[in-house]
């Protein structure tokens, strides 16, 4: 926290010249944008910006899909549970009982926002643990068959791989070039008796949303449980578990929603069929031992509440409009553009190496992320893009821009201006390398 409160001690020092407010020359040129987009979407209701928000404002942060900046209201809701309301919910004394009540209230609220029963909420250390529990907790002591989509996050994919190493049959369900699951293929692949089907709600790479309702029906018809990695999807889409048939679990993580890292949950009726993968004092209905993180539970509940309020829903529409305008102005190919995507999520196929573009934007005070990371001298194209049939060389140019509730039209203008500033040089460089 010192980093935020005393920026002079921050280990990352931003060059003020670089971080000067974006050139206003371009701002306002997109007149239709000005009419549609409220310029105040970055200002939260209810008062002054906290030091956290001030820091965020220093950088044009367009990497909400990696992690969302902490929401002041979430931090405020957590704080009492990190200070005076610190008790262990398992203890019978007053402090313990108070903590237990806080936890129960938070759990009930989490359940409510997701359309689940409170006893079907298992709090975890984050999305990865929730995914691991959904997969490995389903497979303990058994052998069998699982069907997973070709575009799963490593939290699911590596868990399934671990099972494959123990003799499980793992079937990969393909996606169509648009990035959505090939439902015809899925129909053929999922068989009665399968232990689990895993499909992520929205790709963390492309932002493409999957038709979860149809998939849930398909699974329920065959009596096969479904796990949905909703970690990315939760930032911009809703899932109502009460409307999904069959045995379903979803994984969510607070830090994608303006909450802290280290808090997540596995939620849904499928919980009842799982065995624990973390053993100990038997907390969380025996499914996830360890003294409960009450502050984290409150944070997750608060984050879910905020994203459900009327303002947040309107903001999502604005986010999608900003994203569409960005894509139109840059004129680049976009992965998954033909599918329904998370609002504010764009995977740009830049034609250059993604990490080079990320660095050049970063130097201009704009934070985005590369679709592929270069490791040991080799830029491996992202598996999701490969699964979509995108050429390796094209995939290496992927840059993910993900907008959030605080994103403004000015920031989009700044991104477009920065791109147009260095793109000609980058083009010359690429041509000169040929």
Partner 1 sequence: MIDLSRVGAVDQPDGEGRAGGGRCNDRVRFTVGLVGDRLDQVRFGADACVSTTAAAAWLAARAEGGALLAGARIGLAEVLVGAEIAPAGAECALTAVDAFHAALGDAVARGMQTAAVGNRSVVAMSGGVDSAMVLTETVREGRDVVAVTLRLWIDPEAPSPERACCAPSAVRSARDLCHQHGVPHIALDLRDDFRATVVDPFVAGYAAGETPNPCTTCNGAFRFDAIDRIATNLGAAEWRTGHYAQLVEQGDAPLVARGLDEMKDQSYMLALVNPEILTRVRFPLGARRKVDVQSEAKERGLAAANALESQEVCFMGGSALAPFLERQGVVMKPGPIVDEAGIELGEHQGALAYTPGQRRGLGVSRGTEALHVLRVDAPTNTIVVGALRRLGRRSVDLRDVQVRTTVDRIDACFRMRGATVPGRFVVTGGDTAEVQLDRDAFQVAPGQVAVLYDGDCIVAAGTVAG
Of 249, 239, 227, 232, nearest in space to 121 by CA: 249
Nearer to partner 1, 317 or 393 (CB): 393
Q: Closest CB to partner 1 among 247 and 379?
A: 379
Strand order in the sheet with 121-124: 121-124, 264-267, 248-253, 226-229, 196-200, 145-149, 169-173
Closest-CA residue to 53 (of 28, 75, 29, 84): 75
Question: What b/e readout covers 298-332, taking b as 16+ CB neighbours within 10 angstroms?
Answer: bbbbbbbbbbeeeeeeebbebbbbbbebbbebbeb
Residue 4 or residue 422: which is nearer to partner 1 going by CB? 422
Strand 345-349 with 398-402, pairing: antiparallel
User: CB-wise, 12 or 48, nearer to partner 1?
Assistant: 12
The β-bridge partners of 146 are 170, 196
Tell the smallest beta-carbon distance from residue 378 to partner 1 (Å): 5
The answer to whether 198 is a known catalytic residue is no
Residues that bind partner 1 (CB under 8 A): 352-353, 355-356, 358-360, 363, 374-380, 392-393, 396, 422, 425-426, 428-434
Q: Nearest approach, Cβ of 58 to partner 1 (angstroms)?
A: 18
Smallest distance, partner 1 to C-beta of residue 203, A: 23
Cβ closest to partner 1, residue 311 vs residue 359: 359
244 within 8 A of 56, measured Cβ to Cβ: no
Please report how close the Cβ of residue 369 comes to partner 1 at its closest, in angstroms: 12
C-beta of residue 298 within 8 angstroms of C-beta of residue 280: no
**CA-CA distance, 117 to 47, in Å (whole number)?**
34
Q: How many CB atoms lie within 10 A of CB 1?
A: 8
Which of 3, 10, 219, 374 is an active site residue? 374
Residues 6+ apart with CB under 8 A from 11: 3
Catalytic residues: 374
């Amino acid at each position: 926290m010192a980093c935020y409160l005393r920026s002079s001690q921050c280990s990352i020092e931003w060059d003020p010249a670089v971080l000067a407010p974006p050139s206003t020359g371009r701002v306002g040129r997109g007149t239709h944008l000005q009419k549609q987009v409220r310029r105040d979407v970055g200002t939260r209701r209810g008062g002054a910006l906290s030091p956290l928000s001030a820091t965020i404002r220093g950088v044009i942060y367009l990497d909400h899909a990696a992690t969302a900046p902490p929401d002041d209201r979430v931090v405020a809701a957590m704080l009492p549970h990190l200070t005076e309301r610190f008790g262990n919910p398992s203890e019978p004394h007053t402090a313990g009982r108070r903590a237990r009540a806080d936890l129960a209230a938070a759990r009930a609220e989490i359940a409510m926002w997701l359309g689940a029963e409170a006893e079907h909420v298992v709090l975890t250390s984050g999305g990865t643990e929730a995914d691991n529990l959904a997969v490995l907790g389903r497979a303990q002591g058994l052998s069998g068959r699982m069907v997973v989509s070709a575009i799963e996050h490593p939290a699911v994919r590596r868990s399934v791989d671990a099972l494959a190493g123990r003799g499980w049959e793992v079937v990969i369900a393909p996606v169509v070039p648009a990035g959505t699951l090939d439902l015809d293929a899925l129909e053929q692949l999922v068989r009665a008796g399968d232990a689990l089907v895993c499909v992520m709600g929205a790709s963390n790479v492309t932002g493409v949303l999957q038709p979860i309702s149809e998939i849930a029906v398909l699974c329920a018809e065959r009596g096969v449980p479904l796990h949905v990695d909703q970690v990315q999807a939760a930032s911009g889409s809703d899932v109502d578990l009460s409307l999904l048939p069959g045995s379903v679990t979803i994984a969510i993580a607070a830090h994608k929603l303006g909450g802290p890292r280290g808090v997540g949950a596995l939620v849904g009726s499928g919980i009842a069929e799982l065995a624990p993968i973390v053993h100990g004092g038997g907390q969380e209905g025996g499914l996830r031992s360890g003294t409960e993180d009450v502050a984290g539970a409150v944070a997750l509940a608060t984050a879910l509440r905020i994203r459900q309020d009327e303002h947040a829903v309107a903001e999502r529409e604005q986010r999608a409009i900003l994203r569409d305008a960005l894509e139109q102005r840059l004129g680049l190919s976009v992965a998954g553009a033909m599918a329904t995507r998370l609002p504010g999520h764009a995977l740009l196929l830049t034609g250059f190496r993604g990490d080079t573009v990320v660095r050049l934007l970063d130097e201009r005070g704009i934070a985005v992320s590369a679709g592929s990371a270069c490791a040991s001298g080799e830029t491996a194209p992202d598996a999701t893009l490969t699964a979509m049939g995108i050429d390796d060389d094209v995939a290496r140019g992927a840059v993910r821009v993900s907008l959030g509730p605080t994103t403004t039209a000015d920031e989009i203008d700044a991104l477009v201006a920065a791109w147009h500033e260095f793109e000609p040089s980058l083009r010359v460089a690429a041509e000169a390398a040929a």
